[in-house]
Amino acid sequence: MRRVFKGLAALVALLLVAAGALYVGTMGEYPVPATVTDDPALPRIEVGGVTLHSESFGDPANTAIVVLHGGPGADYRSLLPLQALADSYHVTFYDQRGAGLSERVPAEELTLQTHLQELSGVLDHVSPDAPAILVGHSWGAMLASAFLGASPDRVAAAVLIEPGFLSADDAQAWGLRSQEIIRQPGMIWLGLRTGFASAHVDGPDEAAAQDFLIGQMMHAFASDPASGYACPGESYDSPGWRAGGAAGQAVQTQASAEDFDALGGQAHRFAGPVLLITGACSTWIGEDHQRAHLALYGDARLSVIPGAGHDSVDDAPEAVLAEIRAFLAGGG
């Protein structure tokens, strides 16, 4: 028994030394930008009692476009090239609740339903009297698709840029493959180092350390070749302000099978035009995956963007803008 105890004591001592070395080795400055709660200079709107980081461009008299970012828990920074549409439309971007530079909220307020209610509130703010155009990327495209089924009369047309999954079965398959990527030794080691680095994050609020950790891991996941999000030999380098750590986990973990099926299962209720966009380099949720989504909509077509990965707006903004303009000019 003495040998066992000595062995355990040695192991504990070794782990403590390793932890100490990691803590010291990751010391440094890890700045995290303030949200609208602490930075009064940030543009904002109030929706459903939550303060959202938001900007609008163009003439408010024009048809409204509302842009929905990915994640959950990302922000709209990489989608800002879509601001060019403000020459003909009134374009609004917003960071969703608990994400980007918007106000942080409790996990129980981060569900599919609260996000749908929030989108409805944004539309009340920017287009109360007329249907708007939705442009969503990744998770934002999934959210837009669910909104088409829930409130079809509030949408004139939709552009869905690589929605990840739109049913419970696809969600399960996506989760299994995601776990395979996350459990790779390199990802585990990166997560360990990033976890220690997050211990050195000094504000500006209580969520900053978790946001830093989840943001770094989201970027690493998207950059891993197994995710197929970037073109060969490239990393996923789309810019962002700040991740929402709780939002990045809460929406999916609290969702039911019915919630997942609602992402695409009711979209046929929308009679208007839908444009699906995918990057030619995107191999996991790229062209084949998006062609399967076409059947969910009554009037949909697919555009494949050459030289682009999952975030085609950042990778090939001019090509994406040309596709969207042509789609909208043709009445969808």
**Confidence (pTM):** 0.93
The CATH number of the domain holding residue 116 is 3.40.50.1820
The neighbour count for residue 151, using CB atoms within 10 Å, is 16
Residue range 126-151, pLDDT digits in tens: 999 999 999 999 999 999 999 999 99
- Identify the domain containing residue 205 by its residue range: 31-332
Residue 10 in domain: no
pLDDT of residue 36: 98
Q: In this structure, is residue 97 part of a structural domain?
A: yes
CA angle 43, 30, 239 (to 5 degrees): 50
Q: Domain for residue 15, yes or no?
A: no
Q: What is the mean pLDDT of residues 264-291?
A: 97
Q: How far apart are the first and last CA of the chain?
A: 76
Angle subtended by helix axes 245-254 and 208-223, to nearest 10: 70
- Report how many domains make up the chain: 1
| Residue 95 CA, distance from chain mean position | 10
Q: Are 241 and 316 in contact (CB under 8 A)?
A: no
Domain assignment of residue 13, yes or no: no
Mean per-residue pLDDT for 268-294?
97
19 domain residue, yes or no: no
| CA pair distance 194, 210, nearest whole angstrom | 10
Query: Where is average pLDDT lowest: 8-22, 224-238, 280-294?
Result: 8-22
159: which 2 tokens? 């552009």
pLDDT in tens, 103-113: 999 999 999 99
pLDDT of residue 153: 98
122 domain residue, yes or no: yes
CA–chain centroid gap for 12, Å, is 40
Mean of pLDDT over the chain: 92
User: Is residue 8 domain-resident?
Assistant: no
